[in-house]
Structure 1
Amino acid sequence: MTSSLKPTAVVVGVGAEQGLGAALCRKFASQGHHVLVAGRTQAKLSRVVDALVAAGGSGEAVVTDATKEADVVRLLDRAMAPGNGFAPADLVVFNAGNNRHIPFLDVDAALFEEFWRVGCFGGFLVGREAARRLVPLGRGTVLFTGASASLRGKAGFAQFAAAKAGLRMISQSMAREFGPQGLHVAHVLIDGGINGERVRTLAPERVKALGEDGMLDIDAIAETYWQLHRQHRSAWTQEVDLRPFKESF
Structure 2
Amino acid sequence: MTTPLRYRTALIVGAGTGLSASLCRVLAAEGIKVGLAARNTSKLEALAAQVDADTFTVDASNPEDVMQLFEQVDGQIGAPDIVIYNASARLPGRLTDLDPEAVHKAIDISAYGGFLVAQQAAKRMLVNRHGALFFTGATASVKGFAHSAAFSMGKFALRGLAQSAARELAPQGIHVAHVVIDGGIRSAARPDPVDRMDSTLDPDAIAETYLALLRQPRNAWSWEIEVRPWVETF
The normalised TM-score by structure 1 is 0.87
Show structure 1 runs of 5+ residues with no match.
Answer: 1-5, 53-57
Alignment of 1:33-72 (within 5 A): 33-52=32-51, 58-72=52-66
Matched letter for residue 103 of structure 2? F
- 1:163 is matched with 154
Show structure 2 runs of 5+ residues with no match.
1-6
Residue in structure 2 matched with residue 55 of structure 1 by the alignment: none
User: In the TM superposition, what is the alpha-carbon distance from 1:87 to its structure 2 partner?
Assistant: 5.1
Backbone CA RMSD of aligned residues:
1.7
1:25-76 Cα deviation digits (max 9, x unpaired)? 1111111011001111121121220222xxxxx2111111111112211222
1:120 equivalent to 2:121? Answer no
Quote the Cα distance in structure 2 between the aligned partners of 1:80 and 1:229: 21
Structure 2 partner of 1:3: none
Range with greater deviation from structure 2 (174-183 or 63-72): 63-72
Question: Quick check: 1:175–1:184 contact (8 Å CA) kept in 2?
Answer: yes
Alpha-carbon distance, 1:196 to partner = 2.3
What amino acid is the match of 1:89? Answer: P
Q: Report the 3-state secondary structure (helix = DSSP H, G, I; strand = E; otherwise coil) of the residue aligned with 1:14.
A: coil
Residue 136 of structure 2 aligns with an amino acid whose one-letter code is: T
Counterpart of 1:37, as a letter, is: L
Tell me which residue corresponds to 1:228.
Answer: 213
Query: Matches of residues 89-108 of structure 1 in structure 2 within 5 Å?
Result: 89-108=80-99
- Normalising by structure 2, we get a TM-score of 0.92
Partner Cα distance (2:47, 2:206) in 1: 17
Larger helix share, 1 or 2: 1
Question: Number of aligned pairs?
Answer: 228
User: What whole-Å deviation, never above 9, does each CA across 1:170-193 have from its counterpart, x for those lacking one?
Assistant: 001101011101111000000000
Q: What are the equivalent positions in structure 2 for 1:70-81 lying under 5 Å apart?
A: 70-81=64-75
Distance of 1:22 and 1:125 partners within structure 2 = 22
